[in-house]
Amino acid sequence: MSNSRPKKRMINDVILHSSDLTPQDSRTPQSIRPVPIPKQADSDQELVNLWLHGKSKHTQRYYRKDVQRFFEFTNKSLREIILKDLQEFADHIDEQDLVDGSKRRILSSVKSLFAFAHKLGYLPFDVARVLNLPTPKDTLAERILTQKQVRKIIDAENHPRNKLILKTLFFTGIRVSEMCSLCWKDLKERSEGGQVTVYGKGKKTRTLIIPEPLWSELMNFRGFVPEDIFVFRGRNRSTQMHSTTVLRIVKKAAHKAGLKVTPSPHWLRHAHASIACEKAPLHVVPFQLSKFNFC
């Protein structure tokens, strides 16, 4: 009995016939033909939206503002940008009345957008990769308040809610964006005091300890408010307090306390780290602050 099974065809024997194929394509084995990359974005604006997806609202606001500044300066689309445009923009930013950290962030935002566009296939290559970022001056020591200065700031604030905000920033080392987004359900009682779970920078979840005196004050401040309500609310009682409001509270209290410096909320975080390093075991501080270079 003869074997009637058909001869197995090899992949190289298979040629697809299509009106879209060029003569060269028709002679190229299917297995090694280049596969077209799906189009990911139809415009620069759509690309920016893809780039910002998944980032925090705080980050989105600053990054969008940064790249908008770049587009307005160059008046070009991303595909038209050359290295000279980027260097001229960097020189322009350097001339602006901005702190070094802001200048670096703006250029970092632009570089990040170009890198994303290249990875996505929107740009053939990343022209911004060779753009150098300015090296910022290390001013951390200038932005650390002493324990005495922190006490003056807190004592100078008479508004109960605002005083509680200052205490929360200092005694927990929480970031201002994290504090503004806190709901009461994020706070849990412990045997002594309490703790708060925050989902912060780098999409990392961590737990911060709330010392007993502050925990009692927070619970008294809460009253009978439901768990899904923001701890510190804005003018519209259903929304969270804005970070700029917290900034004004800190600056006003520092001015009233007679400090010669104008601190931001992050200075209280630095102060927490500095004082904690002096009193707490070293392995505790990085976990509390999620910033390993403070100690």
Q: Report the C-alpha gap between 76 and 159 in whole angstroms.
A: 49
Query: Is the sign of the CA dihedral 158, 164, 166, 171 positive or negative?
Result: positive
**DSSP letters for 206-264:** EEEEE-HHHHHHHHHHHTT--TTSBSSB-SSTTSBPPHHHHHHHHHHHHHHTT-SS---
Q: Cβ(147)–Cβ(275) under 8 Å?
A: yes
Residue type, 26: S
Give me Rg for the CA atoms of the chain: 28
229: which 2 tokens?
């309500």
Please name the helix (run of DSSP H) or strand (run of DSSP E) that holds residue 270, with its range, or none.
helix 265-279
Q: What is the structure's pLDDT at 144?
A: 75
Query: Is the sign of the CA dihedral 258, 259, 264, 270 positive or negative?
Result: negative
172: which 2 tokens?
């927990």
pTM given for the model: 0.58
pLDDT (tens, 9 = 90+) of the chain, 295 residues, equals 555 555 544 434 444 444 445 555 555 565 555 666 677 888 999 999 999 998 888 889 999 999 999 999 999 999 999 999 999 999 999 999 888 888 999 999 999 999 999 999 999 999 999 999 887 665 555 567 888 888 899 999 999 999 999 999 998 989 998 999 999 999 999 988 999 998 766 667 889 999 888 999 999 999 999 999 999 998 887 899 999 999 999 999 999 999 988 888 888 888 887 665 555 443 344 444 443 333 3
Q: Which residues are CB-neighbours of 29 under 8 A, at least 6 positions away?
A: 11, 12, 15
Q: Report the C-alpha gap between 60 and 52 in whole angstroms.
A: 6
Q: Report the C-alpha gap between 268 and 166 in whole angstroms.
A: 8
Check: CATH 3.60.15.10 for 141-291? no
Domain boundary assignment for the chain: 44-120, 141-291
Largest Cα–Cα distance in the chain? 106
